[in-house]
Homo-oligomer: A and B are copies of this chain.
């Protein structure tokens, strides 16, 4: 009767969100959208999906009200429906990290030991970044930097890093960051910089993590 259908209806609604995050490509799209708004084409390119496929996945995310679409000229720009969606994605990631040992194993395999900082070291690094005591380098694509970045950060997308090394000082320490803990852009950047004789380390925080700590970010006019 009434109770049973109430219950059923509510769980069906919750499952709409669940279904939205039940697919690896959709999670990747969400991850990208946490960096800032993007067109369908941009998302498709970044995630390595076909445009049609990307469009369909975005529609599923839209049906779950996790993202919004806005037509701007010839392009459709998708963005998170709410900052809360990013928080939810991060909660999901945190849960996965602590429950699924596989994730740590995957990351460890990739990092091959070099990258892992002690928690204490990491806190000290964050603090120095926050106080702008080091050169902070944002190696994400320019539109993501434009959408939001850590205050004081310099933007040199990884692709252009090799060509713009002269923009960086040799004496001071460089801290590179990208999208977050699972993004490899900053790892690559540090590898390159160190090879060229710079003093560089990676910070595994991205803008979402930075923001989640309550620290301010720059950019993202977001003119609704």
Cβ-defined contact, A28 with B11, below 8 A:
yes
Judge if A74 is at the interface, Cβ distance under 8 Å.
no
Judge if A182 is at the interface, Cβ distance under 8 Å.
yes
Judge if A166 is at the interface, Cβ distance under 8 Å.
no
Determine, out of A12-20, A193-201, A206-214, the stretch whose residues face the partner at the interface: A12-20
Taking a contact as CB atoms closer than 8 A, the residue among B9, B21, B81, B99 that contacts A99 in the complex is B81
Q: Which residues of B contact A24 (CB under 8 A)?
A: 8, 11-12, 14-15
Taking a contact as CB atoms closer than 8 A, the residue among B21, B84, B182 that contacts A98 in the complex is B84
Judge if A48 is at the interface, Cβ distance under 8 Å.
yes
Cβ-defined contact, B11 with A25, below 8 A:
yes
Given contacts A4-B48, A7-B28, contact A99 B14 (CB under 8 A): no
Determine, out of A86-94, A123-131, A134-142, A167-175, the stretch whose residues face the partner at the interface: A86-94
Chain B min CB distance to A144 (Å): 16
- Beta-carbon nearest neighbor of A23 in chain B: B15
Determine, out of A51-59, A102-110, A113-121, the stretch whose residues face the partner at the interface: A102-110
Cβ-defined contact, B95 with A6, below 8 A:
no
Cβ-defined contact, A98 with B82, below 8 A:
yes
Taking a contact as CB atoms closer than 8 A, the residue among B27, B88, B98, B99 that contacts A92 in the complex is B88
Cβ-defined contact, B182 with A106, below 8 A:
no
Judge if A100 is at the interface, Cβ distance under 8 Å.
yes
Chain B min CB distance to A80 (Å): 11
Q: Which residues of B contact A10 (CB under 8 A)?
A: 103, 106-107, 182
Cβ-defined contact, B110 with A182, below 8 A:
no
Q: Which residues of B contact A102 (CB under 8 A)?
A: 13
Cβ-defined contact, B182 with A17, below 8 A:
no
- Beta-carbon nearest neighbor of A19 in chain B: B22
Judge if A2 is at the interface, Cβ distance under 8 Å.
yes
